[in-house]
């Protein structure tokens, strides 16, 4: 089921509302909100909204812990860094403790970045093998990729580790990345796919109609074991549903 909004702005408001509500529920149920953000242009509207009233005031920032579902291997002050994007638009404007921001170290080479991120995840896991995220935010590429799980990358899709390194060319963005794998994503309590724009229409339809397999459309690998998947799209992206 896809919730459809007329444009990117109303989609962003719905996403911000859901983000706040999942955060409040998580904190009231177990004292913390463990969330992973994504990159790409789609969540920018939601990030901007969460940085200001009314949403910013409704968020339990002191109990919010932030990771990223994928990161490009660039320095943290690079415009292409997913950390940089969310920090600039959102995190620097709100009272989240700096120690609750767990960025993947894009300035390292791939093996070191993976090892460091695994370490951070383990610390956030509170004694569990790997953390169970309250929310993992994901985008959808026009090729059906999500996070940095790209079509044809069987090794990443079937990895037995929660984070892996990949290399993929997409829209001229940095090719070297690290990403959560389905193993970790599918432990989440909630996954939120945000999809915007007409160039996503074919991929969204294929994923919703389950016409293809996860190797061709990696978003199909997202099937939480005991969690909820929310699909929010704007009308342009939903045009072929
Ligand atoms: C990244 C992502 C990626 C993104 C999609 C959609 O780092 O590039 O996390 O998976 O979410 O490519 O990107 P858009 O929102 O720009 O279409």
Residue nearest to atom 12 of ligand 1 (CA): 141
With 0-12 / 13-18 / 19 or more C-beta atoms within 10 angstroms meaning exposed / middle / buried, residue 95 is exposed
- Predicted pLDDT of residue 127: 72
Q: What pLDDT digit, counting tens, does each position of 37-82 carry? A: 999 999 999 999 999 999 999 999 999 999 999 999 999 999 999 9
* Percent of residues, the chain, with pLDDT higher than 90: 95
Which residue's structure tokens are 């901007």? 48
Q: What is the mean pLDDT of residues 107-128?
A: 93
pLDDT for position 126: 78
* Ligand 1, atom 14, residue with closest C-alpha: 40
236 φ/ψ sector (left φ>0, alpha ψ -120 to 50, else beta): alpha
Q: Does the pLDDT at position 128 exceed 80?
A: no
Q: Report the atom number in ligand 1 closest to the C-alpha of 148.
A: 10
Q: How many CB atoms lie within 10 A of CB 54?
A: 10
pLDDT in tens, 175-209: 999 999 999 999 999 999 999 999 999 999 999 99
**What is the sign of the dihedral through the CA atoms of 78, 18, 197 and 186?**
positive
Q: State the average pLDDT for the chain.
A: 97
Q: Identify which of 106, 117, 102 has the alpha carbon closest to the alpha carbon of residue 181.
A: 117
């Amino acid at each position: 089921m896809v919730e459809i909004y007329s444009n990117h702005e109303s989609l962003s408001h719905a996403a911000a509302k859901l983000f706040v509500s999942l955060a409040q529920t998580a904190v009231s149920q177990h004292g913390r909100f463990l969330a992973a953000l994504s990159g790409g242009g789609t969540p920018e509207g939601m990030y901007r909204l969460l940085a200001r009233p009314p949403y910013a005031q409704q968020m339990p920032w002191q109990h919010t812990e932030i990771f990223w579902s994928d990161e490009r291997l660039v320095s943290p002050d690079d415009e292409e860094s997913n950390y940089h994007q969310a920090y600039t638009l959102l995190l620097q404007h709100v009272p989240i403790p700096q120690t609750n921001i767990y960025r993947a170290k894009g300035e390292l080479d791939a093996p070191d970045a993976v090892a460091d991120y695994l370490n951070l995840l383990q610390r956030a896991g509170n004694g569990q093998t790997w953390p169970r995220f309250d929310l993992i935010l994901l985008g959808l590429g026009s090729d059906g990729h999500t996070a940095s799980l790209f079509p044809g990358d069987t090794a990443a899709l079937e990895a037995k580790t929660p984070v892996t390194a990949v290399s993929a060319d997409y829209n001229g963005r940095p090719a070297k990345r690290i990403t959560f794998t389905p193993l970790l994503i599918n432990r989440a309590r909630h996954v939120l796919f945000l999809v915007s724009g007409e160039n996503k229409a074919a991929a969204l339809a294929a994923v919703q109609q389950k016409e293809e397999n996860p190797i061709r459309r990696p978003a199909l690998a997202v099937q939480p074991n005991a969690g909820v998947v929310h699909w929010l799209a704007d009308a342009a992206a939903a045009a072929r549903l």
